Amino acid sequence: MQSEIDSLREINSKLLAEITELKKKNAEVKAENVKLKHALEKHEARFTSLEQRDEEKATLIAKLDDNIKEIKQSSASTSSVKNSDIC
């Protein structure tokens, strides 16, 4: 009977040590999760900002393309008027 109790105490002691180690690892994992969530939020914010800047640049490029077309048309019109004056 005493050896059985001693055996159970030994098992209990090992389990308590294992629980303590698992709690420590769990705390480390939770701390790492907090760091990763923070990094993810930071990257998501940066990605959103980059997407917005990309859209703004695309809009600006479209406007510049329109301006170039207008300038070319205006230049072509001016050239044709000058050519008809020469003839």
Q: What is the 3-state secondary structure (H, E, C) of the chain?
A: CHHHHHHHHHHHHHHHHHHHHHHHHHHHHHHHHHHHHHHHHHHHHHHHHHHHHHHHHHHHHHHHHHHHHHHHHHHHHHHHHHHHHHC
Give the pLDDT confidence score for residue 36 in this predicted structure: 99
Residue 60 φ then ψ, to 5°: -65, -40
Give the pLDDT confidence score for residue 68 in this predicted structure: 97
Under-50 pLDDT residues of the chain: none
